[in-house]
Structure 1
Amino acid sequence: MTHPGEQFYPEGVHWDDPIARGTLPDLLSKAAEQYGARVAIEFRDRAISYTELEAMVETAAAAFLRAGYGKNNSVALFLGNSPDHPVNFFGALKAGARVVHLSPLDGERALSHKLTDSGARVLITSDLVTLMPMALKFLEKGLLDRLIVCEDDHWGDVGNPHTPIPAHPAIVTFKRFVEGASKPSQWPKVSVDDVALLQYTGGTTGLPKGAMLSHGNLTSAVSIYDTWSKPARAQRDVIERVICVLPLFHIFALTVILLRSLERGDLISLHQRFDVESVMRDIEVKRATAFPGVPTMWIAIASLPDLESRDLSSLVHCGSGGAPLPVEVARIFERKTNMKL
């Protein structure tokens, strides 16, 4: 039977198409097996293949298990956009733990509530000055038993300001934390119904509340996107280069960019922050094909004085979300580039 809503679907997509459910460790393992040496993430011009990413994740997972952060444990991530996020995100999940996303955009009160509410006693952060000082406050307040610090320069020195890592028995660098960790004879069994992520709400009606997202929730979201775009993807049959400036600690970038791109074997061009010329270089020089952004990013691009002479021809997918996009910005962009935003 045809569903009335199908008239608005892409050709070949049906309302009763099967939606796959699985676990996130399996999603990455299958991608590594299928895509191997293909580049999964590019960060600061450093390429990380699917095989390399899986190896990093397994090392992190083995270290989490060795430290006792497996089943029935919450692991908090207080990280920006760098490979440290997917490595620890998938590493904690492969160890059987659940992840707690903490936003660097939140204040101390909201973050302290999330840590207490989630039950997380271990936190992974970076030595960046935008992250480390707040993480140290959590330790001082007795909210943590262990603070694991990723060193940002590990991915290349770009002049970011760092906070010195104090000598403290509860603080360990990520490098030291994973040193010597060996894979178990068998990984913990993870179910599609296990909670994978505590993603906190904005707290507009009080304190933020943790949405309990299972492995099945997140993988089915990826499957829905995949089913919806399958006809268009079959016509292109290319490896997409997806610009990721949006924060991975938000659910949109996590599902639509990170998980979806890895499942499909695409390349994620990961940016630590939005810089209009860095994004334009990704488009013009590296020929990015997809750029999900927010209005402030599109305003910056539409405001470029030489936009009409810039080459955005590689872009196939560009979208704006998170807030209303001013109509005039969309019109300027479309008039100057002949592209639909």
Structure 2
Amino acid sequence: MTSQPWLKLYPDSIPTHLEYEPKPVHAYLTEAAKNYPEKIAVHFMGKEFTFKEMYDSSLKMAKYLQDIGIQKGDRVAIMLPNMPASVIAYYGILYAGAVVVQTNPLYTERELEYQMKDSGAKAIISMDILFPRISKVFNNTDLEHIIISAIKDFLPFPKNLIYPYIQKKQYGLTVKVEHAGSNHLLTEILKTASPDPDIPPLDFEEDIAILQYTGGTTGFPKGVMLTHRNLISNASMCDAWLYKNKKGEESIMGILPFFHVYGMTTVMILSVMQGYKMILLPKFDVDTAIKTIHKQKPTIFPGAPTIYIGILNHPDLKKYDLTSVQSCISGSAPLPVEVQEEFEKVTGGKLVEGYGLTESSPVTHSNFIWDAKRIKGSIGVPWPDTESKIISMDNGEELPPGEVGEIIVKGPQVMKGYWHQPEETAAILKDGWLYTGDLGYMDEEGYFYVVDRKKDMIIAGGFNIYPREIEEVMYEHPAVQEVVAVGVPDAYRGETVKLFVVLKQNQKVTEEELDEFARKHMAAYKVPRIYEFREELPKTAVGKILRRKLVEEEREKQQQKHSS
């Protein structure tokens, strides 16, 4: 059963085992600056920065952090969108021997305060428009310093002069921060700090590089402790999977935010490790994204299904050339089959579904991109050095091919544990195996399939219903752009299926027509009983649809109904 049948499927170009050099994440920036000093490392809205410039700036950041008291093992938060400052901050923190705490710029004061308290961060690197929010929670946390950057600082002339007016119009505020006391300006740091920090030695296996907070699907978010080995092993596996890419020659589209582990590993770390150019966008705007691809010609484009869906539904798609894109691994949510097929038609490149978790740095499985069978609807096979199996939810025994159970994984990319949460760690990490909480099965050949989250399964009239299965069917309807199926309370069946639907532009469809379509393509017990049309669905910053938020909305509606 644990013979790893998928290894027979590997094309000759992918090794089943990799050697990982025991050096920290930041050592790769040192190497890139040495090997490609004048090569463009970052393109940002028309301005470019070489590997040497990013390296020097990161060293200045590290030295400044040490000068203001940051020591080895201290936590330093980054609350930034994708911009040159986020790369400088990330590597600067690591050069200083500190631990990165990635923080979502969309966090409310309450969420930010919780994360700063939980991590014990001593400093935060953020941007001007977020300064008021940080200031409000500053005194309730261990924070001692705020380092502020601004988008305009990294824009070419005349965009740098125009941008503050755009920002004021967009956010309704102008923030001026003085470089004094506990407030620091990145522009001043890069002008005045010396690039000679005392870089402490690090334990590749044990030292934490980053605390990456999970979305908090169960209670409060937990800090996932990812070591240098975790991150380097996963980026190395990614490089092995993308074996047709040439070192020092590719460019990666950086839309996935770096405060999400998927963007951090497959864009930022991989690019630095391989000498690739990162084409960064501070947020996903479909117009800007499509024009940037047309102009900058990225060859690699990791993303999430909603990003690809947004691009495919752009009204002027035919005006733009997206054929530079050769390889894309989609993560963070299930990839509908017709989105995969359509995107490959438009670009001529390959788009495959991958799978992973924050707790695994994040990737564990993916379909093959080249030279081997890809199975649509499958998450593919485990990456090199990664084991996976399906176990029974009743007794934990390994299940034979075709039977649905919990997916568990093991490999060098699996986290050290949760920050200060030994009980939570023990519940999910057992004998080196990470219990994912996802339900799936493996076929005879070794391809894996996710049927759903253990927590998302709908039980209606005694039947187990997997939302993903319903969503796959409904995505095939020509009028549908996005769908989410959730379970809602039902007096007779216990639960019943409700479908939230976003239609494509200029498309119309009735509930009756959707119902008829659903009945043609799935068993009656799976057919949604309730439909709700929406202009948009709630999403995370990565574009993952927040099923949980829709479930909570439904629960609140039910409570109001009962209380009235």
- Distance in 2 of aligned mates of 1:220 and 1:21: 10
Is residue 292–residue 319 contact of structure 1 (8 Å, CA) maintained in 2? Answer: yes
- 1:94 CA displacement: 0.4
Counterpart secondary structure, 1:213: strand
Alignment match, 1:316 = 326
Give 3-state SS (helix, strand or coil) of 2:271's partner: helix
The match for 2:149 is 150
1:182 aligns to what? 194
% identical equivalent positions: 33
Do residues 218 (structure 1) and 201 (structure 2) align? no
Tell me the distance in 2 between the aligned counterparts of 1:44 and 1:20.
Answer: 34
CA shift digits 1:26-52 (9 cap, x unpaired): 111011111111101111211111111
Alignment of structure 1 residues 98-247 onto 2, 5 Å: 98-128=99-129, 131-156=130-155, 157=160, 158=163, 159-161=166-168, 163-166=174-177, 169-177=181-189, 179-184=191-196, 186-192=198-204, 193-230=206-243, 232-233=244-245, 239-247=249-257
Larger Rg: 2
For the 8 Å contact 1:126–1:150, the answer to whether it is kept is yes
Q: What are the Cα deviations for residues 159-202 of structure 1, in whole angstroms up to 9, with x where unaligned?
A: 32364235573222223345532344743223313111111111
CA deviation vs aligned residue, 1:118-169 (integer Å, no higher than 9, x gap): 11121111003xx223212222535522111113211122332364235573
Question: How far apart are the structure 1 equivalents of 2:181 and 2:247?
Answer: 52
Matching residue's letter, 1:26:
A
Q: Aligned AA for 2:59?
A: E
Aligned-pair CA distance for 1:315: 1.2
* Partners of 2:320 and 2:190 in 1: CA distance: 45
Question: Is 1:8 aligned to residue 9 of structure 2?
Answer: yes
8 Å CA contact 2:62, 2:95 repeated in 1: yes
C-alpha distance 142-23 of structure 1, shift in aligned 2 (>3 A): closer
The structure 2 residue matched to 1:325, chosen from 319, 324, 335, is 335
Cα 1:177/1:306, change in 2 over 3 Å: closer
Q: Deviations over 1:254-305 (max 9, x none)?
A: 0111100111111100111122232222222222212222222222211123
Q: Would you say the 8 A contact 1:21–1:216 is kept in 2?
A: yes
User: Amino acid of the residue matched to residue 22 of structure 1?
Assistant: K
Q: In structure 1, how many angstroms separate the alpha carbons of the residues matched to 2:140 and 2:39?
A: 44
TM-score (normalised: structure 1): 0.90
- In structure 2, the residue matched to 1:51 is 52
Q: Distance in 2 between matches of 1:271 and 1:85?
A: 12
Deviates more, 1:244-253 or 1:12-21: 12-21
Residues 1:336 and 1:18: Cα distance change in structure 2 (over 3 Å)? closer
Greater mean deviation of Cα atoms: 68-77 or 51-60: 68-77
Specify the code of the residue in structure 1 equivalent to 2:61. Answer: A
Conserved in 1, the CA contact under 8 Å of 2:76 and 2:100? yes
C-alpha distance in structure 1 between counterparts of 2:332 and 2:17, whole Å? 29
**Contact kept? 2:128, 2:177, Cα under 8 Å:** no
Change (3 A) 1:225 1:140: same
Separation in structure 2 between the aligned mates of residue 334 and residue 288 of structure 1, nearest angstrom:
15
Quote the offset at 1:312 in angstroms: 1.8
Task: Mark the CA change 1:163 to 1:143 in structure 2 (over 3 Å): closer, same or farther.
Answer: farther
Q: 1:303 to 1:23 in 2, by over 3 A?
A: same
Partner of 1:268: 278
Unmatched runs of 5 consecutive residues or more in structure 1:
none
When the two structures are aligned, how many residues end up with a matched partner? 335
Q: Distance in 2 between matches of 1:226 and 1:329?
A: 25
| Contact kept in structure 2, 1:103 and 1:249, CA below 8 Å | yes
- For 2:104, the aligned partner's letter is S
Q: Which moved more, 1:183-192 or 1:284-293?
A: 183-192
- Code of the aligned partner of 1:136: S
1:79/1:124 contact within 8 Å kept: yes
Identify which of 280, 284, 299 aligns with 1:289.
299
1:304 aligns with 2:314: yes
In the alignment, the residues of structure 2 paired with residue 187 and residue 36 of structure 1 have an alpha-carbon distance, to the nearest angstrom, of 20
RMSD: 2.3
SS of equivalent residue, structure 2 residue 302: strand
1:29 maps to what in 2? Answer: 30
Who is 1:39 aligned against? 40
Kept in 2, the 8 Å contact 1:77–1:85? The answer is: yes
Larger fraction in strand: 2
Higher share of residues assigned helix:
1
Q: Cα gap change, 1:19/1:206 in structure 2, threshold over 3 Å: closer, same or farther?
A: same
Give distance in 2, aligned partners of 1:331 and 1:183: 48
Conservation of the 8 A alpha-carbon contact between 2:59 and 2:196? no
